[in-house]
Amino acid sequence: RLCREKTSKSVYAMKKLKKSEMLRRGQVEHVKAERNLLAEVDSAYIVKLYYSFQDDEFLYLIMEYLPGGDMMTLLMRKDTLTEDEAKFYIAETVLAIESIHKHNYIHRDIKPDNLLLDLSGHLKLSDFGLCKPLDSSNFPNLNEPDYTPGKGAKPLPDNTSRLTNSSAPKRTQQEQLSHWQKNRRMLAYSTVGTPDYIAPEVLLKKGYGMECDWWSLGAIMYEMLVGYPPFYSEDPMSTCRKIVNWRSHLKFPEEAKLSSETKDLISKLLCNVEQRLGTKGAHEIKVCPLPWFYTVHPHFSQLPA
């Protein structure tokens, strides 16, 4: 909700957190940590926390008000972005992620809903665990196939049904886009949430680090340019299985007409942790694929977080 400071008349966004609910969910220490992070991080790409206070019943966080809406709404309105538009927003998201990683913090929930836009159209990362957490207990236990030569499962061939009805016709890009947009907002506010941007190592619950945020960046980049997330399915469980089996499911529709540089960058984000760009730091993304960002940020590698 919005609030106004009486003396300055400045407008802020207020988050009101019920203490009893925080206790019930075991979120007290987590919320404290989030509040401290917001108070410490000083970045143009992170939503600012101005005040925090409490009464007997509630904790109040007075945040920067961003009137430009969020990336989810923008994508629903535009369907897809041009490559130059995506470059601008992805570059600023890289700087936002870099700024929190410098404080040894992992966001874990980067998605279009949490990318807010200010009055000038610049992007700021928000909702550091203060929004509804994804309830992973509703998802199935998942196992990652072993693709080591001579071991375990092999990637499914392209013409093989993958966790879906083999008789189900393959959707065109436009049909998939229409279906995604029809369900997008409902998924965002469901009790389970949407797993579309979560890295496979997080779903597998086998330990993860800051690199999981770079997977989320790749999924968002794909959605910006194609119109829907790379592993979207009609139900969250199928999406989770597709993410874990990403080798068989990461496809680039021909209709999207993505450049080879774009597909290369996405593929280097949606991949194994060991090969994923950003695993050794944001500089890997800021420097290695520099030609992709050059048209909107010629000096991107030198921009501070």
User: Which residues are designated catalytic?
Assistant: 109
Q: Please, which residues bridge with residue 124 across strands?
A: 116
Using CA atoms, how far residue 69 sits from 33, 75, 120, 121, 196, in Å, is: 26, 11, 11, 9, 21
Cβ atoms within 10 Å of 165's Cβ, excluding its own: 7
Interatomic CA distance for residues 56 and 96, integer angstroms: 34
**How wide is the angle at C-alpha 84 spanned by C-alphas 181 and 252, nearest 5°?**
55
Give residue 88's Cα distance to chain centre.
16
Q: Which two tokens stand for residue 89?
A: 């927003």
Question: Which run of H or E residues covers position 220?
Answer: helix 211-226
* CA-only gyration radius of the chain, Å: 20
